[in-house]
Amino acid sequence: MKSIKTIFSSGVHVLKQMRWPARILLLIVLISFFSAGAIVVTGQPGFCNSCHIMNTYYDSWHSSEHSHVNCLDCHLQPGFAGYIRGKINGLAQAVDCMVGRVGTKANATVRDTSCLRPECHSTQELTSQSVDYNGIDFTHQKHIGTDIDGIKISCGTCHSHFEGNEHFSVNSGVCFTCHFLKGNETGERLVQTDCRSCHEVPNKVIERGFVAINHSEFVSYQASCDDSCHKNEIEKQSEVSESVCLNCHDFGKEHETDSVKLHEAHTHSEKVECFACHGKVTHGRTQVRSVSVMMNCQNCHSDTHQIQQTIYSTPHSAQDEETGRVLSPMFLTHVECTGCHIERMKKKSGVLNSFGTVAKAVPAACDKCHKKGTGQQYVPFWQGKIKGLFEKIGHQVDKLEELARVETNAQLAQKSYDKVNQARAILEAVASDGSWGVHNFKYTEAMLLRAGGIVNDTE
């Protein structure tokens, strides 16, 4: 202990005897010595492991195929400028660690310039060879340097540390996000591919319960994989919840709704995983479902009651915009279709059907809200008035059409035909509705009177 004090005192005495230029030079030498030592120490993988949030990443790196590669070789951009920039950033991280501003999860972006160096992964070698990825014939040629909808495809887009014990691996969820998700703006997928872009046609018969599936038979029919059996596997709607944005920001995505700008902001600088916003996108059937469960009847049967809805609740196109909106009193009191259509009955015989039933509207439904007998009193009255007016206008339209046929003046004949077409459009709407005024008596009557006005217009 005494010798240490003696050495320290001698050093202080020598320092006092030194001139100021010599003292400054000595200080520079000491700072340079300790800085060089700090640079060497902080550049070792073991130093990264000194932070507890890096332990799992260090362990996965140590057991990976890249364990012979220093961390800085990947995580700093090649070149002197990239090295200096990385060291300054590391110093800032060290300060954050000392003041307690470090998060619970590490975040790093590896640039393509680090991966694609000739001594590591040659671009020429990658683009000239195909890779068998879980049975998929994959090529880097269509991915390196590609920009899709504002997404700059980089090595880290697909190769990342996202789960498991591997330091980084290919995240198939990223593939599914680009190739299968349909955008809300265009309704199209970002990348147009089909099943056979990645998969070979199975050469053996696949048995699903009592059904044997022979793909070669479907190929001989020139059937499309994507538009038939596997359609639901390759087309998924992109749905990003507002709450996802709040995981990182204090605002939702309504601040920027353009997908290109959103992708640029989240992929061109710091890396954000695709599934962080879009969630997990699955591909490949994990269970077999009945065909009837997969059927979507609305692909063919859609808007089959549009006319009824229009007459019941909104102005029809045949009605002038300046005409007052005529709404059914039942609509105004929030009576739904099921309020009147209460009687289950089989579909009419003689038509192609599935032996199902339909809900028929009956006058007795009125008695649920009104006094007994109201429906039986008013429904026949409404329908009688509308059918009578419909028949009257129909005769007038037929008569006008006959006059148009014998009209010698081509201009007057065309004018009459225009009136006939307008009036018939209204008559067809009333007939297609089928309620003959019950859905909206006042509006249906107004429509027919409008048709009559068109026919009898002498101008």
Rg of the chain over all Cα atoms, to the nearest angstrom:
38
- What are residue 120's phi and psi, to 5 degrees? -110, -85
* Three-class secondary structure of residue 381 per DSSP: helix
Check residue 398 and give its pLDDT.
93
Please indicate, yes or no, whether residues 263 and 129 belong to a single structural domain of this protein: yes
Label residue 330 by pLDDT band (50, 70, 90): confident
Q: How many CB atoms lie within 10 A of CB 230?
A: 17
* Pair 319, 170 in one domain: no
Residues 281 and 382 grouped into a single domain: no
What gap in Å lies between CA 160 and CA 274, rounded to an integer? 11
* Pairwise pLDDT comparison (133 vs 297), residue with the higher score: 133
Q: Is residue 227 domain-shared with residue 323, that is, in the same domain?
A: no
Q: Are 420 and 407 in contact (CB under 8 A)?
A: no
Last residue of a domain, one of 251, 286, 321: 286
What's the CATH number where 381 sits?
1.20.140
The CA distance from 253 to 14, in Å, is 66
Same domain for 443 and 327:
yes
- Cα–Cα separations (whole angstroms), residue 315 to 178, 332, 336: 43, 14, 18
- State mean pLDDT over 174-194: 76
- Residues 216 and 248 occupy one common structural domain: yes
**Higher pLDDT among residues 101 and 414, named by residue:** 414
In a domain, 382, yes or no: yes
**Cα–Cα distance between 455 and 371 in angstroms, integer?**
40
Same domain, 127 and 190: yes
Q: What is the mean pLDDT of residues 100-107?
A: 67
For 284-288, the CB contacts below 8 A with 24+ separation are: 284/233, 285/233, 288/208, 288/209
Q: Is 28's pLDDT higher than 80?
A: no
| Residue bearing the bigger pLDDT, 95 or 158 | 158
pLDDT for res 322: 46
| Together in a domain, 72 and 198 | no
Write phi, then psi, for 107 (nearest 5 degrees).
-140, 125
Q: Judge whether 48 and 71 are in contact, CB under 8 Å.
A: yes
> Predicted confidence band at 10 (pLDDT cuts at 50, 70, 90)?
low
Tell me if 41 is assigned to some domain: yes
**pLDDT tens string 174-183:** 888 888 877 6
Which pLDDT value is given to residue 396? 92
Reported as a single tens digit per residue, the pLDDT across 232-277 is: 677 677 777 777 787 777 776 666 667 788 888 887 767 777 877 8
CA distances 172 to 169, 192, 269, Å, are 9, 17, 22
Average the pLDDT over 122-142 and give the result.
82
Residues 451 and 379 in one domain: yes
For 280-322, the pLDDT digits (tens) are 777 776 555 555 555 677 777 777 788 888 888 755 444 455 4
* Cα–Cα dist 386/440, whole Å: 11
- pLDDT given for residue 297 in this prediction: 73
Of 125-139, 279-293, 361-375, 395-409, least confident by mean pLDDT is 279-293
The domain total for the chain is 3
Residues 163 and 278 occupy one common structural domain = yes
For residue 325, give the DSSP letter: P
The CA-CA-CA angle for residues 218, 179, 128, to 5°, reads: 90
In a domain, 340, yes or no: no
Positive or negative torsion for Cα 22, 27, 33, 35: negative
Of 90-104, 140-154, 351-365, which range is least confident?
90-104
User: CA angle, 42 as apex, 37 and 44 as ends, to 5°?
Assistant: 105
For range 337-355, the mean pLDDT: 74
User: Using CA atoms, how far apart are residues 55 and 46, in angstroms rounded to an integer?
Assistant: 10
Token output for 286: 């994990």
Q: For residues 55-85, b (16+ Cβ closer than 10 Å) or e, as one string?
A: eebbebbeebeeeeeebbebbbeeeeeeeee
pLDDT bin (cut points 50, 70, 90) of residue 402 is very high
Question: Is 353 within the bounds of a domain?
Answer: no
**What's the pTM?**
0.50
Whole-number pLDDT of residue 203: 85
Query: Same domain, yes or no, for 316 and 448?
Result: yes
In a domain, 188, yes or no: yes
Confidence of residue 36 (pLDDT cuts 50, 70, 90): low
Q: For position 8, which CATH number holds? A: 1.10.3820.10
- 103, 132, 147: which is the final residue of a domain? 103
Query: For residue 294, is it within any domain?
Result: no
Q: Is residue 321 part of a domain?
A: yes
Backbone phi and psi for residue 160, each to the nearest 5 degrees, phi listed first: -155, 165
Question: Using CA atoms, how far apart are residues 15 and 23, in angstroms rounded to an integer?
Answer: 7
Query: What residues make up the domain containing 249?
Result: 115-286
Look over the chain and give the mean of its residue pLDDT values, rounded to a whole number: 78
Residues in a beta bridge with 341: 361
> In the prediction, which pLDDT does 311 show?
82
Among the candidates 103, 134, 157, a domain finishes at 103
Looking at the domain assignment, is residue 337 inside a domain? no
Query: 154 and 89, same structural domain?
Result: no
Local structure of 32: helix, strand or coil: helix
